[in-house]
Amino acid sequence: MEAALWIGLPVFAAVATGILAWFVMQSRMEVKLAEARERIAADKGAIQAEREAMEAQLQTAMRAAQERAHREALDAFLGEMKVEQRHYTRENRRLANPRKSLVLQERMYFRNIPLSDWIEHEITVDDDADLERLIQDMTVFERPVVSIANGQRPMKALA
């Protein structure tokens, strides 16, 4: 029995040591696996944050591009708008009170399509009044106008 004890005890110690080494190695592997999973989760979080930031930048860039396109389209549309202007003097001869007035007519065009009817302004003028200054002061629109009286040359409206 004593011989079996001397043979069994080292075998038992070797098996116990092996099992203990296996548990220690298993726990070390689990720690390394947990660390690797933690790094992977951190990397996935960083990638997700970067993806969301890029999507936000893309949406901002798309919105800016759309606004720029709308602004350019509106500028192109307004660039093709023009105002046609004509004026003449009207004399009302009544018996006691002859009256001279300046009539200014304007209308808006898009390319060659009229957008409005003639807008008419009438002002009573004296004989010594500066008619060109009155015409510039009476205009409704603040865009360059095409004057019928001046042979289709643009002039700046002051309004």
Which pLDDT score is estimated for 157? 42
Residue 93: its pLDDT value, please? 78
Q: 35 burial class (0-12, 13-18, 19+ CB within 10 angstroms)?
A: exposed
User: Checking phi first, is residue 99 left (phi over 0); if not, alpha (psi -120 to 50) or beta?
Assistant: beta
- Flag whether the pTM goes above 0.75: no
Residue 148 CB: number of other CB atoms within 10 A?
A: 13
| Full pLDDT tens readout for the chain, 159 residues | 888 888 899 999 999 999 999 999 999 999 999 999 999 999 999 999 999 999 999 999 999 999 999 999 999 988 888 888 888 888 887 767 777 888 888 898 888 889 889 888 888 777 666 667 766 666 666 655 554 544 444 444 433
